[in-house]
Amino acid sequence: MSTKLEQAVDSRRTFAIISHPDAGKTTITEQLLLFGGAIRQAGTVKGKKTGNFAKSDWMEIEKQRGISVTSSVMQFDYDDKRVNILDTPGHEDFSEDTYRTLMAVDAAVMVVDTAKGIEAQTKKLFQVCRMRGIPIFTFMNKLDRDGREPLDLLAELEEVLEIESYPMNWPIGMGKGLEGLYDVYHKRVELHRPEKYGEERFIPLNDEGDIPADHPLHQDNVYTQAMEDVELLTEAGNEFSEEKIASGKLTPVFFGSALTNFGVQTFLETFLQFAPKPSEHKTMAEETVSPYEEEFSGFVFKIQANMNPAHRDRIAFIRVCSGTFERGMDVTLERTGKKFKLSNSTQFMADSRETVEEAVAGDIIGLYDTGNYQIGDTIYSGKMKVAYEELPQFTPELFMKVTAKNVMKQKSFHKGMEQLVQEGAIQLYKTILTEDYIIGAVGQLQFEVFQHRMLNEYNTEVILTPMGTKTARWIDPEDLDERMSSSRNILVKDRFDQPLFLFENRFAMNWFADKYPDVELKALL
Ligand code: G4P
């Protein structure tokens, strides 16, 4: 008999949905929330057009631009599972927060637009998921529109992302000619418009893997085509392997249309069947902590400030890794050894924030923070004394020089810089010779958020001078020679005093590598 905690942990499914903007992440999220009964009406999560901003668009900038800067967490129950979806910013200007959110999930769902295939942002996010070795499920969206050939899409997925794929179902037609899905996994055909045939939604396949010969769809060209494709894939494609799915080596592929809610429920149910439950987490000491461990522990993967401009509060997002969190419990912050009572906690929904009383491993909680937490911090109850692995840093690609507009504000400028850097909002570098401040980000929006927060929270107007895109590469301090620096490769140090070059472009980097073959250039993730 498993314990209450074990049962609760085993029911958790915690994942993120990743995609390039406009592939349909928001639409599918809404459909999932509808199935889970978490919202009653589509359009609740995003209300761009109506001006009804979702509550997850907390910050003013988000409102001005109608985008969601920060990730929120949505929870619902489906069947006997408790589902936690971690949202990731859906704009091109995504930030390090998006990457960090992927450190807190057990699986990812990759939404692809069938007309566009694998796009740039999907690729980047996918790589972070792969680095973690988590299972990745693919939803090929917008089947109600004419898109690319399904076989092409699969080939591109395998080639560009270097992952094996296994189609769980296969489109029968597309766009206006969409008739259904040949569900390889459940051995049935799911009709797009069952009313057209006056039938149930599902037609079971016979032993030959076919629908009855007298079914009108049987004579349809799109059905014949789908059958041919499936046959080809059965002979030449990958084999289904639960093991490979679990280790992120094979992605199960589902086709469907989020907008018309076709194939979404099948996807959800099959996904929940194969998505992993919370597993153990690695510690700094290279040990692991079981989610069933009775003591509570978790790590901070994101800190969000100013969710409520009236209170200027910060919220630290914690992934619970073990045990049960209870409101009001005493915990220790590992980095400082300081003890706290966790009385102010929240759980998140797209349209409300509720106080959470209890959460178990796999869940995400938000803690009100008065400046105690840093990204990557571990908290634990009792005598656990655990420190979870550090979160990776991501190589920024965009850089700006930064100065305080008013020289009299140096003190608050430095304080703001220090806190925002610690919080992980932005990365800070200093030129080696002149100690000029340069900030780096993975998305443009991080700069805007930084500028906004410096003004609103630290009362400091900052001047940002764009330096454009750079390729950042770290070097061994022993290789450091200031004469190596030039305008095309600026030598700076990071906040841990580690030296790195900001190369103007790849050519400049290659030129440097040729000139100094003994200097090893290292990237973060
Ligand atoms: P994102 O979060 O990944 O950025 O994408 P989002 O869901 O906002 O979808 C982007 C656009 O694609 C939306 O249209 C949405 O209605 C449409 N879309 C999503 N799924 C499907 C689908 O299965 N089929 C079709 N045909 N369209 C789909 P929009 O007009 O830009 O959105 P909105 O401004 O009306 O919200």
pLDDT for the residue numbered 50 = 38
Determine the 3-state secondary structure of 100 from DSSP.
helix
Q: Name the range with the highest mean pLDDT among 46-55, 369-378, 494-503.
A: 494-503
CA distance 197 to 143: 20
Say which CATH topology domain 17-66+91-274 has. Answer: Rossmann fold (3.40.50)
The answer to whether residue 37 scores a pLDDT higher than 70 is: yes
- CATH code of the domain occupying 281-381: 3.40.50.300
Pocket test for ligand 1, best of 68, 259, 261 (most atoms within 8 A of CB): 259
For the segment 307-339, what is each residue's pLDDT rounded down to a tens digit? 555 555 677 889 999 999 988 899 999 999 999
Task: Describe the crossing of helices 221-236 and 150-161 by its angle, rounded to 10 degrees.
Answer: 30
Closest residue by Cα to atom 24, ligand 1, is 142
Is residue 502 within 8 Å of residue 438, measured between CB atoms?
yes
Domain 398-522 has CATH 3.40.50.970: no
Q: Does 30 sit in the ligand 1 pocket, CB within 6 Å? A: no
- Of the given ranges (9-13, 26-30, 142-146, 359-363), which has the lowest mean pLDDT? 26-30
Q: Does 116 sit in the ligand 1 pocket, CB within 6 Å? A: no
Is residue 243 within 8 Å of residue 157, measured between CB atoms?
no
Q: Does 21 sit in the ligand 1 pocket, CB within 6 Å? A: yes
Cα(24) to ligand 1 centroid in Å equals: 5
How many residues can be counted in the chain?
A: 525
Q: Does 114 sit in the ligand 1 pocket, CB within 6 Å? A: no
Helix/strand/coil (H/E/C) assignment for every residue in 358-414: EEECCCEEEEEECCCCCCCCEEECCCCCCCECCCCCCCCCEEEEEEECCHHHHHHHH
The answer to whether residue 55 scores a pLDDT higher than 70 is: no
Q: Which one has a higher pLDDT value, 455 or 64?
A: 455
CA distance 123 to 156: 12
Is residue 304 within 8 Å of residue 314, measured between CB atoms?
yes
Q: Does 31 sit in the ligand 1 pocket, CB within 6 Å? A: no
pLDDT for the residue numbered 326 = 87
Q: Which two tokens stand for residue 210?
A: 């076919």
Residue 406 annotated in ligand binding: no
Is residue 221 within 8 Å of residue 107, measured between CB atoms?
no
Instruction: Answer left, alpha or beta for residue 133, where phi above 0 means left and psi between -120 and 50 means alpha.
Output: left
Q: Does 176 sit in the ligand 1 pocket, CB within 6 Å? A: no
CA distance 69 to 216: 49
- Domain locations in the chain? 17-66+91-274, 281-381, 398-522
pLDDT for the residue numbered 310 = 55
Determine the 3-state secondary structure of 448 from DSSP.
helix
Q: What is the pTM assigned to this prediction?
A: 0.87
Cα(260) to ligand 1 centroid in Å equals: 11
Domains 17-66+91-274 and 281-381 share a fold: yes
pLDDT for the residue numbered 330 = 93
Ligand 1: nearest atom to the Cα of 21: 4
Average pLDDT score, the chain: 87
Determine the 3-state secondary structure of 126 from DSSP.
helix
The answer to whether residue 371 scores a pLDDT higher than 90 is: no
Residue 142 annotated in ligand binding: yes
Cα(142) to ligand 1 centroid in Å equals: 9
For the segment 78-112, what is each residue's pLDDT rounded down to a tens digit? 999 999 998 776 565 567 888 889 999 999 999 99
Average pLDDT of 140-166?
96
pLDDT for the residue numbered 356 = 61
CA distance 393 to 125: 14
Closest residue by Cα to atom 14, ligand 1, is 22
ipTM: 0.97
Pairing label, strands 499-503, 471-474: antiparallel
Q: Does 49 sit in the ligand 1 pocket, CB within 6 Å? A: yes
Helix, strand, coil share (%) of the chain residues, nearest 5 = 30, 30, 40
Determine the 3-state secondary structure of 342 from DSSP.
strand
pLDDT for the residue numbered 308 = 53
Residue 167 annotated in ligand binding: no
Is residue 368 within 8 Å of residue 344, measured between CB atoms?
yes
The answer to whether residue 59 scores a pLDDT higher than 50 is: no
For the segment 184-239, what is each residue's pLDDT rounded down to a tens digit? 999 999 999 998 888 789 999 999 999 999 999 999 999 999 999 999 999 999 99
CB 351: neighbour CB atoms within 10 A? 17
pLDDT for the residue numbered 393 = 81
Mention every residue, 6+ apart, whose C-beta is less than 8 A from residue 427: 96, 393, 396, 421, 439, 440, 441, 494, 495
Is residue 168 within 8 Å of residue 254, measured between CB atoms?
yes
The answer to whether residue 247 scores a pLDDT higher than 70 is: yes
